[in-house]
A and B are shown apart, each in its own frame.
Chain A
Amino acid sequence: MKRHRFDPLSFTFGLLFAFVALFVLLGSSLADLVPVGLWTLPAMTIGLLIVLYGVRRLLPPDPGPSETPDRGEGPSPYSDAE
């Protein structure tokens, strides 16, 4: 598994699911979540997703090895113009 550019979608949903799992594992139940949690959790997820995508656009792309497009063997024809 190679390192790649940060993926906000996987991170946000991973965080959300981890929160739900720990919430239940630590003894709470659905009754403790409603009614506030039912709309705040999805809203927070969407908000975090938007923020992370925005931050990722602001930051320079990470030149990870898997992000380098594989254009086949030999020199790229575009190298002339560069």
Chain B
Amino acid sequence: MAPGGSAEHHRGRMDETPVEPSEVERELRARVVIEEPEPQPAPSPPGRSPLRRRASRRLVAGVAGGLADHWGIPSLVLRIPLAAAAAVWGLLLLDTFTNDYLTFRPGTIGFPPLVWFGSLLAAIGYVALWIVVPREDVGSSPASRLLTRYPGMRSWPGFVLLGIGGALLADRLGIFEPTVVVAFGMIALGIWLFRRDGRRDGPVERSRTELGAPAPAPIVALRGPRPPRERSPLGWIAFGAALLVMCVAAIWSAGTTSFHPEGGPMGVTGAMRISSIPALGLLVLAAGLLVGSVFGRARWLILPSVLLVPVVLLSSVIRLPLEGRFGDLYFRPHEPGELGQAYHNSAGGIFVDLKRFQGRADLELRLDLSTVVGDVQVVVPYDARVVVTGHAGLGSYWFGRKTDSGLEVSGAATLEPKYGDGATFILNLETGIGRVSVGRYAITRRELRELRETERRAEAAEERTAA
């Protein structure tokens, strides 16, 4: 066509409002999505019918019948091997599901690898032909209809194959996790839904025929570019405000925290809970999102908020303030003077070994141990009497035979000694996330012999005194 041909044509059709023709031409070329006509199947050689799936006289999808018609052979020749392949796969699936695992183990039934592989190929081939080959009464295959309806689907088979290949590789490497696959699938589905929704919410599509222009080829739609979205500072403002709020809350919390014997849990008074710090940040981010639903744009705040939610929820089970040092604490006192009354840790375990502690029966010692994140473990001598109370926000406690685990678990126990009569320990153990436990050293043979000897001497002394 000559360059001026299009212009003349436009002037002839729309002479009421003259428009620069070259502009229209450029706009149309930029926006028109021209769908190429569906390629017609190549003509079949004379004497052979084109490959079509049967619409009648079919058992499943008409693939075997269509192939038989195409090749001019009885359909039974193809149906029998396909039925055998289906039977093999049915048995394999039955074996898989009755054993409660989802991995195919062809060796369990005893099929030769060739049979298993051949049946796999037959199944894949049947499904592929079902999708690709058109039915004789329809004229187009399901794949072509899907591509016509969703032009953007052309790249999806590639993604699916990549996903299957990645899953097989991960399984081979031993890092395959079905839940992770499901999670990725859900994320991909969500992205696809949002992209689809975004396309629908885009600018109004116009067909070229609306303009009165000739249609040299089938035109599906005019898909204009998305209008540029406003670059909104709302997200960064909310994010910065959240950081500021969290920092101020942390500083304020550190300045007001103090342990007090008559305070709340473990004697904490005037303290802001640890969970309040990220919760305040989350609240600011949520406010940014709510404002962004009407003014400005702040959708990306969803990502940091999602990352903050588990922190908020997990820290909500911690009732202890961040006080004390970071790192593990070990104590091995031998005498009452070496043992303090309370030890608090911010992060890390507390281990108190009282094996060598020498205490008399009339001695009573109180000990408060707490850590925000970590284990609290006390090991007492074989002759100690222990009165213990414990709490774990998220974790477990283990006091002799008494044990529990989960969220907000608390327990109390009195552990009497089996041998001897030593000091009494009153323990109060708490951890935010971790485990609290009390163990008792087993008596050795030497200690048992010495204990028996001491008891025997004491009895002898009593008898002498009585005599």
Instruction: Say yes or no: is B234 at the interface (Cβ < 8 Å to chain A).
Output: yes
- The answer to whether B292 and A7 have CB atoms under 8 Å apart is yes
**Looking at chain B, what size class is its interface with the partner chain?**
35 or more
Instruction: Say yes or no: is B230 at the interface (Cβ < 8 Å to chain A).
Output: yes
- The listed residue (B224, B232, B295, B312) touching A20 by CB distance below 8 A is B312
- The answer to whether A17 and B309 have CB atoms under 8 Å apart is yes
Chain A residue numbers with a CB within 8 Å of B296 are 1-2, 4
What is the minimal beta-carbon distance from B233 to any residue of chain A, in angstroms?
7
- The answer to whether B227 and A70 have CB atoms under 8 Å apart is yes
Q: Given A14-B287, A20-B282, A2–B295 Cβ distance below 8 Å?
A: yes
Q: Given A25-B279, A31-B408, A9–B299 Cβ distance below 8 Å?
A: yes
Q: Given A11-B293, A80-B14, A24–B211 Cβ distance below 8 Å?
A: no
Chain B residue numbers with a CB within 8 Å of A1 are 230, 232-234, 295-296
- The answer to whether B24 and A77 have CB atoms under 8 Å apart is yes
Q: How many A-B residue pairs have CB under 8 A?
A: 133
- The answer to whether A14 and B286 have CB atoms under 8 Å apart is yes
- The answer to whether A10 and B279 have CB atoms under 8 Å apart is no
What is the minimal beta-carbon distance from A16 to any residue of chain B, in angstroms?
8
- The answer to whether A24 and B302 have CB atoms under 8 Å apart is no
Chain A residue numbers with a CB within 8 Å of B212 are 81
- Give A66 to B283 CA distance when docked, in angstroms: 27
Count of interface residues, chain A, beta-carbon cutoff 8 Å: 39
Contact mask B394-413 → A, CB, 8 Å, 1/0?
A: 10000000000001100000
What is the minimal beta-carbon distance from B215 to any residue of chain A, in angstroms?
14
- The answer to whether B298 and A10 have CB atoms under 8 Å apart is yes
Closest to B222 in A: A78
* Interchain residue pairs with CB less than 8 A apart (25): A1-B230, A1-B295, A1-B296, A7-B299, A9-B293, A11-B290, A11-B293, A13-B289, A13-B302, A17-B289, A17-B305, A17-B308, A20-B279, A20-B282, A20-B309, A21-B282, A25-B279, A25-B283, A28-B316, A31-B317, A33-B313, A34-B407, A70-B227, A77-B27, A81-B212
Interface residues of B (CB under 8 A from A): 14, 16-17, 19, 23-24, 27, 197, 203, 206, 210-212, 224, 227-230, 232-234, 275-276, 279-280, 282-283, 285-290, 292-299, 301-302, 305, 308-309, 312-317, 393-394, 407-408
Known: A30-B314, A31-B317. 18 other contacts (CB 8 A): A4-B295, A7-B293, A9-B302, A10-B290, A14-B288, A14-B290, A15-B290, A20-B279, A20-B313, A21-B280, A24-B279, A24-B315, A25-B279, A29-B393, A29-B407, A66-B230, A70-B228, A80-B19
Interface residues of A (CB under 8 A from B): 1-4, 6-11, 13-18, 20-22, 24-25, 28-31, 33-34, 53, 66-70, 75, 77-81
